[in-house]
Chains A and B, each alone.
Chain A
Amino acid sequence: MTDRRDLTFEDLLRNAGVAEAQSRLERLAPDPATLPPSELERRRGSAARAGGGGGCGSGSCGCGSSAPSNTLLDKPLDRRQALGTLFGALAVTTQAVGACSPVSMESDEEREAKLLERDEFFKGNYRLMTPEEQTETVRRLERLAHLRGQGDVQIRTDQALEGVMYGYAFNISKCKGFRNCVEACVQENNLDRPSDRQYIRIFEKPDGESIDDLEHADATYGHEVPAEGHYYLGTQCFQCANPPCVYVCPVQATWQEPDGIVVVDYDWCIGCRYCMAACPYWARRFNWSEPEVPAEQLNPRQHYLGNRARKKGVVEKCTFCIQRTREGRLPACAEACPTGARVFGNLLDPDSEIRWVLEHKQVFRLKEDLGTEPRFWYYMD
């Protein structure tokens, strides 16, 4: 510790029985970048030994004001930070009381999880987070997953790649209705198992019936496929260029990324389900109860805006497997398709397969009259 004032504050916390708060201290220092790397490492190490995160409100702490001339007072706070500070102070107080009481029913892990959950509760909208805040929340979420027995997950925050706009094409002639894509999607995206959640729907229609008329299509067929005299048509989120769902969200918990993917900040969603009413393609799903994925089936490779753990009461949707596509891989559905009916790629790359399809096939989209401009086309051979 080079800074005397920080020392005071740290001691104060330790005396109050809040060793975990150390990891938060990094953010209280005037500028962590100016600290020697060894010092930063030491702090992180001691925080980890003490059980990781927790402590004061994200980014700042109300109890710090009791330390003489704390740096916090010189820092400009935004309102959310102020709110966090307020509750942070409360939490530290209650925690200090708890630590002094002779019988503590909570294990250290439970307490740590509670503190992490509190910090998670007061965090902001993902889009407005600084890269540091994004790193913070990811670390909290990963730690929480560990504490909750969901194994060791890695949550990525990869940004949209430059010069990429994703598009999808679906070959109606080739799809045979096997639904491998559905299965792969469920596995990849950690979809809720008890409610049998699926982002993809495969509709079976008699040959000769118009594609536009989905009213008489069957998406729940259970017989052997391909059925004689039928064709198949898959739907999922079309990542519309003009998405009505994004327009209606009252808190901007859903938006379109620069690569065209419409994402949801699961922790910012208030669960009003207005977006579900607004979607003309029935692409959004709601967590009517706490979603469950057996630990052994959990996909640990996750993205903050993609397949990470959701909670009850929030909306989710297909993200073209953002956790895969931003690494340059195909979405799980496209990879799993055994018939080659699914073509995925970068619309801005003139040499991509999707561009070839769009330029050489007769393509159409669902409900084009609504002006939603889906980035998902159908075509036939």
Chain B
Amino acid sequence: MHLKWFLLSGLRSATTGGRRYHLWMGTLTLVMLLGAYGYSVQLRDGLGVTGMNDHTSWGLYISNFTFLVGMAAAAVMLVLPAYVLEDVNFSRAVLIAEGVAVSALCMCLAFVVADLGNPLASWHLIPKIGILNFPRSMLAWDVVVLNGYLALNTIIPFYILYSHYTGRTPNKSRYVPFVYLSVFWAVSIHLVTAFLMAGLPARPFWNHGLLGPRFLASAFTAGTAFMILLLWFVDSETDYDIDAGAFRKLAMVTTVAAQVNLIMLGSEIFTEFYFPTHHVESARYLFFGLEGYDALVPWIRVALVMNVGATVVLTLHPLRENRYWLLSSCAVLFVAVWVEKGMGLVVPGFVPSPLGEIVEYSPTWVEVVVTAGIWAMGLFILTVLTKVALPIELGIERSPLIVQERPGQTRSQAGGKQRAGT
């Protein structure tokens, strides 16, 4: 019975709001519809409507997928201190981080499906009915870890929210084991995604041991930068106050991750260019262009400048503690990592081809529209999750059955009601 009310009040929370809320959700829906149209064209005519080809066989979809796995993994930076270290600063922020993880994972799965040439056959991936080539294929690993992480990040917050909704205190022995699991799991999802590429001797640009650690560093850069932006929005626009300590600590995490990321990038660039071998061609294509082909050069250079600039700003204490500088450098870092780790990582792996041929890639309108649609879907999910979670955490939404069922435990509920009334 509680569950029914939980879902009903969730639906109510998600569908009520001010004019700006409806405008936001309406815009997202419109973009999603556009994306659905683009995908219908792709389904009808095949992936030939994208900019991909036999030479550059992965493009914008896999680029976004790679980036978003990092976004999902970054939730661990709040989950670990909040649940494991019991850091009170993070106790409120962590639910939002888990919402980010869930929506990022939904986007990841959507991007993978959008990239499949034969999506109707994706049931072949289901063990027993189909064949999952586990543990040999890293893509099979990715299927397992992404879905597992999605489950973990859905179950834990659901249990906590539902307990609060029904006026109970969440039982630690029930959810903390899953939290520990999810901490390791978060690291594994991004390492596995890196190994998916690093394990290919055919692509020297990816085939090195630094790729995995670098994925983690850039994930914790862009992921926590996004969390700071989102938490700031929640803090300033809703009654749900985020502890100032959370911002301070997250800013520190972002800064250190960005520094480590730059060190690794520098290390990569040194190895490639100090004594250039055959393997340098992809990096040369990315940073300088190859035989007149240089589509990615302006992108990566701007991203590099943004990356370095934002990292310097964050490194300086007075600037990092200034809210304006913090938020703008977080936004800059987010975009810079998206370029560098998305298109800047996936596409050069294919240029030049293993036989030395150069075929450039640029996305078509279908890819752009589908990508925008999936991002809109992710933001839609994130908005709904946040919109549903906040009133429960604030004590505004409580199961109407509490009073009758558990007369002894209504104190917190009454308090919540009071706060809502004021």
Contact = CB atoms under 8 A, between A and B. Distances in A.
B147 to A, nearest CB: 13
A157 interface: no
B137 A248 contact: yes
Contacts of B237: none
Nearest to A255: B133
B133 A249 contact: yes
B118 A219 contact: no
A127 to B, nearest CB: 9
Contacts of B140: 250
A280 B354 contact: yes
A247 B141 CA distance: 13
B35 interface: no
B117 A271 contact: yes
A123 B97 CA distance: 42
- Greatest chain B CB density within 10 A among A121, A248, A315 is at A248
B121 interface: yes
Max chain B Cβ within 10 angstroms of own Cβ: one of A216, A253, A282, A287: A282
Nearest to A247: B136
Interface string B109-140: 00010011111111011001111110011111
Contacts of B47: 271, 286, 288-289, 312-313
A350 B117 CA distance: 43
Contact of A248 (B46, B58, B115, B200): B200
Nearest to B206: A277
Nearest to A285: B54
Contacts of A268: 121, 124
Contacts of B115: 272-273
A203 interface: yes
* Count class of interface residues, chain B: 35 or more
B421 interface: no
A250 B118 CA distance: 13
A277 B200 contact: yes
A63 to B, nearest CB: 21
B407 interface: no
A250 B125 contact: yes
A276 interface: yes
Interface in A235-289: 235, 244, 247-253, 267-274, 276-282, 284-289
A343 interface: no
Interface stretch (B15-23, B81-89, B178-186, B345-353): B345-353
Given A83-B129, A244-B202, A313 B356 contact: no
B1 interface: no
A234 to B, nearest CB: 11
Contact of A288 (B53, B197, B199, B357): B53
A278 B356 contact: no
A217 interface: yes
A127 B278 CA distance: 39
Given A215-B278, A244-B200, A273-B58, A121 B120 contact: yes
B46 A79 contact: no
B143 interface: yes
A16 to B, nearest CB: 27
A285 B112 CA distance: 19
B267 interface: no
A253 B122 CA distance: 12
Contact of A274 (B48, B120, B137, B281): B137
Contacts of B131: 125, 128, 251-252
A156 interface: no
Contacts of A269: 117-118, 121
Contact of B132 (A203, A215, A250): A250
- Please indicate which of the listed interface residues A272, A281, A370 has the most CB atoms of chain B within 10 Å of its own CB: A272
B225 interface: no
B57 interface: yes
Interface of B: 45-48, 52-55, 57-58, 112, 115-122, 124-125, 128-133, 136-140, 143, 196-197, 199-203, 278, 281, 349-350, 352-357
Interface of A: 79-80, 83, 121, 125, 128, 195, 201, 203, 213-217, 219, 235, 244, 247-253, 267-274, 276-282, 284-290, 311-315, 367, 370-372
20 contacts: A79-B128, A215-B278, A215-B352, A216-B356, A217-B356, A251-B130, A251-B132, A268-B121, A271-B119, A272-B112, A273-B57, A274-B139, A277-B349, A278-B200, A281-B202, A282-B357, A287-B117, A289-B48, A313-B47, A371-B201
Closest 3 CB pairs of A and B: A271-B117, A313-B117, A288-B48
Given A216-B356, A248-B137, 4 more contacts: A217-B355, A244-B201, A250-B137, A270-B121
